Structure formats: structure tokens, C-alpha cells
């Protein structure tokens, strides 16, 4: 082994390395997380010392050119063979990415530094909620003299650098992903009862295993990628226990545990300006300025206004219960919504695709009712627009209308889409109030296995 030879030659001078990777897959095959496992396998041969679990960083989910969930990867480790390691990783990207079929634009970035520079952090922050240009990334790479590699248009450099810049210092989650052999195809064979059992037994520390409202399994997909299943949760060790509860009808080829910003709602932290350009994500507070309208397909539309302007909002049918709640909004309600700006189209203007709805205060509405007779106390009846009201018992007349506050069917609170309509980054209800606020320890236990 190479590292053994090195050891014989004297003490090792280890350097801290952050390796970012993105855009290696397409809707027809591969998965950037799987490619990361191939790289980790090779890095372990080189005796690299991992400083963190592999980071699975989700970026702005409203970028239209993403393949699926806009994921990028960063591996953080120490090595004394920086250049050799980079060459190996570059070869793996070349050999396995979808770029060889012209279907991906990979980017690989290697930053050699103990600290992550502010420019990386700031760009990464913006990549969560805005659109970043490749030229901006290339400028930073040049400025810091960072070794990098690209294929195709090299758009993957954006995600690769952004992944390095997000060190997940605050809230984070974990995902254990198990893979099947690359050539495997057909539906994933996982016993359904074991999934329900695992979900029930691990409810307090895993999330979005299934969507009970839609009756859908969310730990596995139907795509041509090698992912067999992925379980998301709060603790890497408990995820291994959860995975062991599944009864599989086909072999696992490998598994790896990632640390991630999934389930943290990180992309919706920034305030959105009503004038924000298309594909920006964030949150905005304001008053409902027009009553909602349910359009074709069951989608609900309303507009919101604050001191900076007005914004049209859409809550789509697949969001299920959130759409039903949005339909109950009324003019004057004070709300906060989070989501992404959809580009203006031929049939619609710029619109916010709502990812969560928080009702802060409900406006009052009044219903007119017939007054009670001031003489005998009986309920009066209408005597036409001109005459007002008349008491049927003592014939007293009145022009005074009475109102009562109408009962609202909506309550203050947070409303989210069905789990199956949530983004990877969306913070599920059960994670609210459970955010982590400290840096994690180094990876421990069997976080990477080949079977």
C-alpha cells in the first residue's frame, strides 16, 4: 500500500483538506453521493484521516437546472498526499460521472486549509437561496489558488465550492444511505412491514420515512440511481439501528452515513424582497391583500403585501393539508410564508411557490344579522332595503343593523405540505424546537461499509 511505503520513509506531514464535488449524475443514472462513496473508499486506501462525516449539502432547491435535490458533497480529511489524492479523485469523477455521456457537468475542488475562508462561507450562504454564476466561483478559485477540475461546462464547480463553504456548524441532521450494485435495476426490494415497523420504533429520532397521508414510502425511490434506501435522522448511531430493522430482498453493496443540512430549513432563513428575482428562496411576512382563489387543478392563489411591495403566492394541490389551510385565509390576515420565486411565464406573473405557511394573526370578519326588537326582545325580520327591519310580534320598526364576528375555520400556527411534497431542505414539524446548536464530534463507529 502507498501509505505504508510513505510511513517507512519517515514522519508524515499531514495537511487539512476539504474536497468539494457536484454535478456527476443525471436523471438516467449515477448519484453524486454514490460517487462520493467510491472516493471515500480510495481515500481510506491512502490512509486519510476523516475529520467529519461526509457532508451532504443541499443547495437552493429552486434552481431549475438541478437533477433532483440539488445535492453537493464535501469530504473533510487530513492527508500527506494531497496531490496524489486529488489525481485519484479526478480519475474517479472522470470514470464514473455521467459527463462521459454528455449528461453532467462535474466540478471537483480541493481546498488545502485548516480554516475555511470567509469568501467560501459567504458564497455558500448565498448558494442556498440565490443563483450563483460560475464566473464568480472561478474568480474565488483563482484568488485562493485552489486546485480544481471540471468536465463539460464545469457548472458543478458552483456546488463543489459551496459544499466546502458550509461546515454545518449549527443545526444539522444525518442520513444513512445504502446502495445496491450499479447494475441492479427494477423496484427496490424492501419488506413494507419492516419499513412501517422501523418508522414506528424510531419515530423520535428519524424523520420522513413515509408519508402517512399519501400512503407513500419515502426512504427509497424508483429512479435508475444506485440508492437502495436512505434513512434521515438526528443521530448517526441510531440510524444504523434503524437500518438494521429493514428486511431486504436484495443485497446491499455499500452504505455511508452523511452529515447534512437536510431537514433544517436553511434555505428559507433570509428575508425575501417582493421584488426578488426568479429562483430566489426565502421567507416573507405581510398581510393577505386579496382573498384566496382556488384555480384549476386545485391550486390556491393569494396575494400578500408588506411595506416593500406585493407578492403573488401559490400553494399547490400536492401540498395537501397546507393547500386546504391556505384556502381558508382571508384579506387582512397576518402571515409569514417561505418558498421560492417562480419565473414569470406566459400564463402567470412572478409567483412565490409556498413551502410553508405560518398564520400569525387572523383578521376579524363580521356577519350582518337581523336586530332584536328593542320593545319585546324578539328577532326582527327584514322589511326590504328601504324600510329596514320590522318586529313580527309588536310591529316595532328599526333601521339599526347588528353584526357578529364570524367564526374562522383557520387557527394561528405553522402549516407544512405532506412529507412527500416537502423539499429535502424543508424542516419537518417534528424537528421544530429540536435544532442542534453545537459543532459535532468527529465521525465514529462504522460510518462507511462495503458488503
Q: Which is nearer to ligand ATP, 230 or 417 (CB)?
A: 230
* Minimal distance, residue 93 CB to ligand ATP, in Å: 12
Quick check: 159 and 134 in contact, CB under 8 A? no
Quick check: 163 and 123 in contact, CB under 8 A? no
**Chain CA centroid to CA 41, Å:** 28
Q: Which is nearer to ligand ATP, 159 or 286 (CB)?
A: 159
Q: Which is nearer to ligand ATP, 22 or 199 (CB)?
A: 22
* 181 closest CA partner among 114, 218, 227: 227
Q: What does the block give as the cell for 360?
A: 400569525
Binding mask 2-41 for ligand ATP (x = CB under 6 A): --------------------xx-x-----xx---------
Q: Which is nearer to ligand ATP, 32 or 422 (CB)?
A: 32
* 224 closest CA partner among 386, 435, 24, 31: 31
Give the list of residues 6+ apart from residue 279 with CB closer than 8 angstroms, or none.
Answer: 60, 62, 63, 64, 130, 131, 340, 341, 343
Q: Which is nearer to ligand ATP, 146 or 391 (CB)?
A: 146
* Minimal distance, residue 293 CB to ligand ATP, in Å: 32
**By CB under 6 A, how many residues form the interface with ligand ATP?**
24
Rounded CA separation 72/166 (Å): 11
Rounded CA separation 241/251 (Å): 18
Q: Which is nearer to ligand ATP, 60 or 167 (CB)?
A: 60
Quick one: which of 37, 47, 55, 70 contacts ligand ATP (CB under 6 A)? 70
Q: Which is nearer to ligand ATP, 185 or 368 (CB)?
A: 185
Q: Does 132 engage in binding with ligand ATP (CB under 6 A)? A: yes
Q: Which is nearer to ligand ATP, 72 or 351 (CB)?
A: 72
Q: Which is nearer to ligand ATP, 69 or 428 (CB)?
A: 69
Near ligand ATP in 385-424, by CB under 6 A: none
Burial degree of 350 (CB within 10 A; 0-12, 13-18, 19+) = middle
Quick one: which of 18, 90, 155, 180 contacts ligand ATP (CB under 6 A)? 155
DSSP 109-152: EEEE-SSPPHHHHHHHHHHTTS---HHHHHHHHHHTT-EEEE-T
Near ligand ATP in 244-283, by CB under 6 A: none
Q: Does 121 engage in binding with ligand ATP (CB under 6 A)? A: no
Instruction: Tell me the residue nearest to ligand ATP as measured from the CB.
Output: 159
The SS3 assignment for 169 reads coil
Q: Which is nearer to ligand ATP, 82 or 89 (CB)?
A: 89
* 17 closest CA partner among 43, 45, 36: 43
Q: Does 151 engage in binding with ligand ATP (CB under 6 A)? A: no
Give the list of residues 6+ apart from residue 66 with CB closer than 8 angstroms, or none.
Answer: none
Q: Does 62 engage in binding with ligand ATP (CB under 6 A)? A: no
Quick one: which of 71, 190, 255, 329 contacts ligand ATP (CB under 6 A)? 71
Rounded CA separation 208/419 (Å): 6
Of 155-163, 246-254, 390-398, 408-416, which segment contacts ligand ATP by CB under 6 A?
155-163
The SS3 assignment for 36 reads helix
Quick one: which of 156, 263, 417, 419 contacts ligand ATP (CB under 6 A)? 156
Q: Which is nearer to ligand ATP, 158 or 242 (CB)?
A: 158
Following CA atoms 21, 37, 86, 15 in sequence, which dihedral angle do they give, to the nearest 10 degrees?
100
Q: Does 427 engage in binding with ligand ATP (CB under 6 A)? A: no
Q: Does 426 engage in binding with ligand ATP (CB under 6 A)? A: no
Q: What residue has cell string 450563483? A: 132
Of 116-124, 154-162, 292-300, 392-400, which segment contacts ligand ATP by CB under 6 A?
154-162
Give the list of residues 6+ apart from residue 163 with CB closer than 8 angstroms, or none.
Answer: 20, 21, 22, 55, 57, 72, 73, 74, 124
Binding mask 75-114 for ligand ATP (x = CB under 6 A): -----------------------------xx---------
* 89 closest CA partner among 179, 18, 162, 167: 18
Report the interface residues with ligand ATP, using CB under 6 A.
22-23, 25, 31-32, 59-60, 63, 65-71, 104-105, 127, 131-132, 155-156, 158-159
Amino acid at each position: 500500500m502507498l501509505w505504508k511505503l510513505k510511513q517507512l520513509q519517515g514522519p508524515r506531514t499531514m495537511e487539512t483538506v476539504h474536497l468539494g464535488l457536484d454535478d456527476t449524475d443525471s436523471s438516467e443514472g449515477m448519484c453524486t453521493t454514490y460517487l462520493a462513496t467510491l472516493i471515500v473508499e480510495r481515500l481510506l486506501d491512502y490512509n486519510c484521516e476523516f475529520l467529519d462525516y461526509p457532508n451532504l449539502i443541499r443547495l437552493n432547491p429552486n434552481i431549475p437546472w438541478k437533477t433532483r435535490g440539488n445535492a453537493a458533497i464535501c469530504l473533510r480529511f487530513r492527508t500527506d498526499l494531497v496531490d496524489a489524492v486529488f489525481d485519484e479523485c479526478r480519475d474517479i469523477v472522470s470514470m464514473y460521472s455521467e459527463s462521459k455521456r454528455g449528461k453532467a457537468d462535474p466540478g471537483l475542488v480541493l481546498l488545502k486549509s485548516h480554516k475555511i475562508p470567509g469568501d467560501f462561507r459567504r458564497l455558500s450562504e448565498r448558494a442556498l437561496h440565490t443563483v450563483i454564476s460560475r464566473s464568480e466561483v472561478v474568480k474565488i478559485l483563482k484568488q485562493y489558488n485552489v486546485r480544481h477540475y471540471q468536465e463539460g461546462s464545469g457548472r458543478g464547480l458552483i456546488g463543489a465550492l459551496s459544499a466546502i463553504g458550509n461546515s454545518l456548524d449549527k443545526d444539522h441532521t444525518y442520513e444513512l444511505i445504502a446502495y445496491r450494485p450499479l447494475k441492479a435495476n427494477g423496484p427496490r426490494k424492501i419488506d413494507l412491514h419492516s419499513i412501517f415497523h422501523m418508522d414506528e420504533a424510531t419515530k423520535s429520532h428519524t424523520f420522513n420515512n413515509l408519508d402517512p397521508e399519501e400512503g407513500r414510502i419515502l426512504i427509497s425511490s424508483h429512479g435508475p440511481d444506485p440508492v437502495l434506501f436512505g434513512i434521515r435522522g438526528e443521530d448517526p448511531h441510531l440510524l444504523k439501528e434503524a437500518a438494521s430493522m429493514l428486511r431486504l430482498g436484495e443485497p446491499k453493496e455499500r452504505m455511508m452515513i452523511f452529515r447534512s443540512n437536510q431537514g433544517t430549513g436553511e434555505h428559507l432563513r433570509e428575508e425575501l424582497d417582493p421584488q426578488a428575482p426568479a429562483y430566489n428562496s426565502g421567507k416573507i411576512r405581510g398581510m393577505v391583500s386579496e382573498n384566496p382563489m382556488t384555480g384549476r387543478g386545485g391550486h390556491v392563489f393569494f396575494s400578500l403585501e408588506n411595506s416593500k411591495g406585493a407578492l403573488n403566492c401559490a400553494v399547490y394541490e400536492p401540498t395537501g393539508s397546507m393547500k386546504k389551510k391556505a384556502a381558508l385565509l382571508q384579506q387582512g390576515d397576518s402571515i409569514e410564508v417561505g418558498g421560492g420565486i417562480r419565473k414569470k411565464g406566459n400564463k402567470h406573473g412572478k409567483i412565490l411557490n409556498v413551502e410553508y405557511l405560518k398564520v400569525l394573526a387572523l383578521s376579524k370578519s363580521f356577519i350582518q344579522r337581523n336586530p332584536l326588537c328593542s320593545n319585546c326582545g324578539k328577532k326582527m325580520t327584514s322589511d326590504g332595503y328601504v324600510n329596514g327591519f320590522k318586529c313580527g310580534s309588536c310591529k316595532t320598526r328599526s333601521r339599526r343593523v347588528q353584526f357578529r364576528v364570524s367564526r374562522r375555520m383557520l387557527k394561528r400556527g405553522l402549516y407544512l405540505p405532506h412529507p412527500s411534497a416537502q423539499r429535502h431542505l424543508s424542516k419537518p414539524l417534528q424537528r421544530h424546537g429540536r435544532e442542534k446548536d453545537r459543532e459535532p464530534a468527529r465521525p465514529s463507529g462504522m460510518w462507511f461499509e462495503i458488503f
